[in-house]
Structure 1
């Protein structure tokens, strides 16, 4: 059986936070919170630094500056109607799980934001991972109805993990 989350560490500071454990916990909670079997899915999380995420942000979003988290869904899963949850993907088999996509998360930006917001870094990182995984599942925050749905879903999942409402 393949692991739910394949974690790639490009910046050693992520080892100190145990990014693999945070990412697995966030993925399991997000999928379970949407009534999806975690063993039917996989995703990749890369822990990098601001320079690397700025490069990725420039390449993929034409914004050559650091950001906290980026997501690349393996396929388009968004709902056709604003404010409605996307159709859940079909799980694969444990030996051949459905790949949801890839996430990159930047250490310096996450640590700075957590400090500015007075939050523990692991809680902020968990929030951003749940946020990124929801993007892989078709959730978005482009318009107000979608943003409300995504934030409510994040808040519910995070509450189950003991992480306070980030909003």
Structure 2
């Protein structure tokens, strides 16, 4: 079943907040207040981040975002200064959609969106070591692990 990724809007905020406090999400999305603040200020202070909702047949099932690393204050182990570096975050909020391959599809769709940016050269992601599911998604999606920096990288 195909997923759709669309721009997050203000009416999605309550669902997003609910997902952040679900145990399977909260263990990886620490400091939910920060994530909520970024989403609430997506039209102003955090307009450099593309906040998105993942849907299946119009039903919101998750959240994802991407941004140019040069717009953030993160160095990404030196990858930011190389230029053309983007990062992604993703999660499935609705438990019945976990472990069905949707994570890999979300990553693929995010890559498609990033490739439209003329400067895009690579994507970097840094899930926690314990997040085996996300790390598995990235490896199966063609990302390579930079062991020294513990950062997954894919040249696009």
If the length of structure 1 is used for normalisation, what is the TM-score?
A: 0.28
> Which structure carries more relative contact order (alpha carbon 8 Å, separation 6+)?
1
More helix by share: 1
Larger strand proportion of the pair = 2
TM-score (norm 2): 0.29
